[in-house]
Structure 1
């Protein structure tokens, strides 16, 4: 079988590695990748900027040579510029010499990933305005930030918050701007973001929330000022962290997609054409808390989906069970993780939900050290199934978000979680785990 793969970051690497391991020479894989690298972990950019990861090459977990040694034909610096679905062929441009050629396929795997959303405002083309997505962006950020004192970050999601902290560790003056009135508004509720905003502020980061960037101003072609609808900020460098969009322009009008371009796939990850699969940031995912297709670009989704496509390339063998969008972030001294919906998203979806919020110490109070754990659950009022959870502490309790993810995947209720069997040992927890405790608190309202 002849398989063409377009793009090779997380989903493409996972597919290629798994398919060659499963099938060997039974599948002929040709990978077309615009860059000369594969498998870069963009989530590590802030770690590199902050000096935690000294060598950015360690943020790659595979390489063209590794995949080539497995038997894949790696066509680096090649861009697919058209796809003819009826002919089952791709038109490819060699980015080194400009030559184009056509390649046919039996199966096509779309793992084209995503690209940063660039705001359409005057001055956005000025030098010194950076993106944060790939290896080359990471190099540019590190290089330019060495000579920058004042750095502005536009977007207070995970990437923006992590970069803000990294730059502060480098003793930079940092302004963090977001159009929302809270940081991390898509992930966490106010009980958590109030604490984290204070954490950022006491560590020297200036927050400019509820502000929309309307213009960038520069001198000699370099950005020097960020203008919002409420204020202006002198700057030596800007990083845009305003979200991502799927790289699927090639397939508009050819395959079914969400309004933002994310390709819709079935439970076996076929697109609307049975011989074309999609995985990773180019695809929509089945979001179990709402039972709907959503766009949730996460590396964890990508590697799972790419692996499942490999199992299904000959026949439908494994179903993709969907995602709860589980994620985590470290904000100075706080460890934060979330899974499923927060209140903002639940309201957007029109869900009739209830919440319960609690603060519980992570270990018994007779222990010499313990830390408060902040926990919040969202549940449907009709059947009490859990649809969201957030946890935060100076202790590392982030793995509990994985527990909440399993709870939601299996449609467990508040009662189920209240009496779930968790171990107890004073070095690690209390006789009632904090997830039990907050669920019990909710159950008192419901019985």
Structure 2
């Protein structure tokens, strides 16, 4: 009998699940359902189209229609799943023609992603608040710029908010960022490292208001300004970057249990507590490799890994997902920033006693033309001496260093082992002493 695998969501996690399932079961009927008009595009690239680095939003489509045809995947766009019946193993769907149908499944993968989060702010029901989550969101912001917008107010100083801020400045807009916490990138960096990024952004012309709470959206029916900390802030573009929340309404209504993060609870096979129902990507939780507690990091790299595991299992094979470090990297103007594992703040929040060290160095020999600064912070668990986190801010060569430190954490490397690591050197490529090694030696000095 032909297996029917249905996947709700056709972004990174959902498509990876479909591709993995197809590799394991060549005969299965695999159906992908998405409410969006366009499937298989990179959400991560949206700010960089707005910045002008990528010519067109359509360039973000990673999986063209030919991919789905080649893989024999039944892609249904502009289709909404309104209910899941886990007892009968059916879905209620509304098609683009507005008809309601019942769709059976043998195996279900929930990859519903996440939705922009909006706090309870007075006037939030008014028109004129933009967000950046979908291709259509990006096109609306781009259209506003082309229509003459000259200023932007961005609410939230996380990764998306700051990537978009940099992009809008590059398009010639005057940008203000408001953040309720005392630092930018609060989930990503410790305050000392975040300060370096803030200074860089301010040098580029971005106004950053920390400890600033948005109190009200002003205007009749269309928002024209924001009231924050009693101050009226006007802008042509008002953008919500408060963050996202796991899209779990379908799961909750179907009595599929959520976990402590309020994302869908899963096991190591990415299976929910309901048999033959999996959850992956931004709507699902998975364990931290360090604390072993559930987390929902909502990164594209995690989504595709989870999707591959769930798809393999849905296709009849066996695969496990080990957990996440939430390694991430981005570029803001001329500076690169990266993180893996726990920040010092997160470690303290989890009651882990740590020792840290921060080292400033150069990306090439100091005498070589074009050398750029780089700063590395290591976070080490005091008792075991194991590396549990790292942050890097630099002009270049950040990604592979953070990847190396991610590998070190996953292999349980101690700070003594890192300090003795064999590294390469050439004047146009790096310093004689690798900055990661210098940071490790500084921690060893503190331990002594």
Per-residue deviation at 1:289? Answer: 2.1
Per-residue deviation at 1:315? Answer: 4.2
Distance 1:61 1:180 in 2: 36
Q: Say whether the 8 Å CA contact 1:128–1:236 is kept in structure 2.
A: no
Per-residue deviation at 1:6? Answer: 0.7
Per-residue deviation at 1:259? Answer: 4.3
Secondary structure of the corresponding residue to residue 222 of structure 1? coil
Per-residue deviation at 1:362? Answer: 2.2
1:120 maps to what in 2?
120
Secondary structure of the corresponding residue to residue 287 of structure 2? strand
Distance 2:362 2:203 in 1: 24
1:8 corresponds to 2:10: yes
- Tell me how many residue pairs correspond in the alignment: 444
Per-residue deviation at 1:190? Answer: 2.2
TM-score (structure 2 length as normaliser): 0.95
Secondary structure of the corresponding residue to residue 429 of structure 1? coil
Q: Say whether the 8 Å CA contact 1:217–1:225 is kept in structure 2.
A: yes
1:144 maps to what in 2?
144
Per-residue deviation at 1:4? Answer: 0.9
1:37-186 equivalences in 2 (<5 Å): 37-94=38-95, 96-146=96-146, 147-186=148-187
Q: Say whether the 8 Å CA contact 2:218–2:225 is kept in structure 1.
A: yes
Distance 1:250 1:233 in 2: 37
- Runs of 4+ aligned residues of structure 1 deviating over 6 Å after TM superposition are none
1:249 corresponds to 2:263: no
Secondary structure of the corresponding residue to residue 305 of structure 1? helix
125-134 vs 61-70, greater mean Cα deviation: 61-70
Query: What stretches of structure 1 of length at least 5 have no aligned partner?
Result: none
Q: Say whether the 8 Å CA contact 1:155–1:241 is kept in structure 2.
A: yes
Per-residue deviation at 1:316? Answer: 5.2
108-117 vs 74-83, greater mean Cα deviation: 74-83
Distance 1:223 1:400 in 2: 44
Distance 2:85 2:426 in 1: 60
- Aligned-residue CA RMSD in angstroms? 1.6
Secondary structure of the corresponding residue to residue 223 of structure 1? coil
1:19-418 equivalences in 2 (<5 Å): 19-25=21-27, 27-94=28-95, 96-146=96-146, 147-219=148-220, 221-252=221-252, 254-315=255-316, 317-418=318-419
Instruction: State the Cα deviation string for residues 352-373 of structure 1 (Å, max 9, x = none).
Output: 1221111122222343442221
Instruction: State the Cα deviation string for residues 261-280 of structure 1 (Å, max 9, x = none).
Output: 31121111111123111111
Instruction: State the Cα deviation string for residues 76-113 of structure 1 (Å, max 9, x = none).
Output: 2111111111111111112x332211111111111111
Q: Say whether the 8 Å CA contact 1:37–1:63 is kept in structure 2.
A: no
